[in-house]
Amino acid sequence: MNDIIKLNNVSKQYKLFSIEPLSCTFKQGYITGLIGPNGAGKTTLIKMIMGITRPGTGEITIFGQSQSLQEAEIKQQIGFVSDECHYYEHLSIQSMKNIIAPFYKKWDDNAFSRLLDRFELSPKMKIRSLSKGMKMKLGLAFALSHHADLLIMDEPTAGLDPVFRRELLDLLAEIMLDERKSIVFSTHITTDLDRIADYIAFLHHGRLVFNESKEQIQERYVLVKGPLSLLEAPSVNAVFIGVRESLVGFEGLTDRGHEIAAIVGTSAQLSRPTLEDIMYFTARGGKSHAAAIT
């Protein structure tokens, strides 16, 4: 299995936030979902991969080429969708296309027209007249019209209605029928990832908590529900990454499933957490879980 993106000791230091030195790879031929709470560093990481923000330390390799040395070549092969709109508002879609297309050696006008049709956008529409969701669709049409082998998207489903969100996921699944293609996208909507992602990279406070296949993640984590009295034992409390207590009992996430099963026996219910559960309890837990796993 080839690596499409390789991060080696990549870090970024802002005044009030830092991406801690991070090493990981994203696989060719798969969809990787980048998740994490607000301010976790997802956009910063994507901007470093795209060369928009320079890392403080480390090296980024894409398609086996150095991001910093071969940026222009690499960008020919990447379709990028940002959560910010970088188009000239006063132009029509057609005029904007006339500016963007010449940058790409493999620009495909027919593919662009087909995508506009599919997204119900007309080339005559002025960019300033587009809604947030329509601008996102336009960004997708641009990103998908130069036969890129790697699609990187920052929150592509933000601002999209549920019908189009599902259509977008279908479109991504179609793209993945070609096994040379790879997709990396960030999202808050973890149910989208349950549907289509193969790998999940989870950032929290600028640290990579995990970057694993969905199956590996599902095997590792266990959600425990039980009476509050169980938490009184320090040995029980210690195994949780995060716990939520309520009047009727507690719910907690652990990656020490066998241990907890042996301690609590039948006095608690164990089940598989969703990605949202994992994100919620890790964010809530506040323990140095990231450091423990990576």
Ligand X SMILES: Nc1ncnc2c1ncn2[C@@H]1O[C@H](COP(=O)(O)OP(=O)(O)OP(=O)(O)O)[C@@H](O)[C@H]1O
Interface residue list for ligand X (CB under 6 A): 14, 17, 36, 38-44
Nearest distance, CB of residue 154 and ligand X, angstroms: 7
CB of 160 to ligand X, least distance (A): 16
**Cβ–Cβ < 8 Å for 208, 34:** no
CA nearest to 290, candidates 46, 37, 57 = 37
By C-beta, is 83 or 198 nearer to ligand X? 83
10, 55 in Cβ contact below 8 A?
A: yes
Looking at beta carbons only, is 12 or 27 nearer to ligand X? Answer: 12
User: For residues 45 and 134, which CB has a smaller minimum distance to ligand X in the complex?
Assistant: 45
Distance of closest approach, residue 36 Cβ to ligand X, in angstroms = 5
In the complex with ligand X, which residue's Cβ is closer, 46 or 96? 46
| Cβ–Cβ under 8 Å, residues 96 and 88 | yes
Question: Considering beta carbons, is residue 13 or 271 the nearer one to ligand X?
Answer: 13
Q: Least separation, in Å, of the C-beta of 44 and ligand X?
A: 3
* Terminal Cα-to-Cα distance of the chain (whole angstroms): 21
Q: Which is nearer to ligand X, 44 or 211 (CB)?
A: 44
Quote the least distance from Cβ 18 to ligand X, whole Å: 8
Min dist CB 143 to ligand X, Å, is: 18
Decide: 88 and 127 in contact? Cβ < 8 Å.
yes
Sequence length of the chain is 294
Smallest distance from ligand X to CB 240, Å: 24
Give the C-alpha separation, 205 to 45, whole Å: 12
Write out the H or E segment, with its range, that includes residue 59: strand 57-62
Beta carbon of residue 195, minimum distance to ligand X (angstroms, whole number): 20
| Residue 46 or 264 having the CB closest to ligand X | 46
CA distance 271 to 224: 7
Angle at 11 between CA 9 and CA 17, to 5 degrees: 150
Q: Helix, strand, or coil here: 88?
A: coil
Core vs surface per residue 163-199: b (16+ CB within 10 A) or e: ebbeebbebbeebbeeeebbbbbbbebbebbeebbbb
Question: Can you tell me the distance from the alpha carbon of 17 to that of 59, in angstroms, rounded to the nearest whole number?
Answer: 20
Q: Which is nearer to ligand X, 67 or 145 (CB)?
A: 67
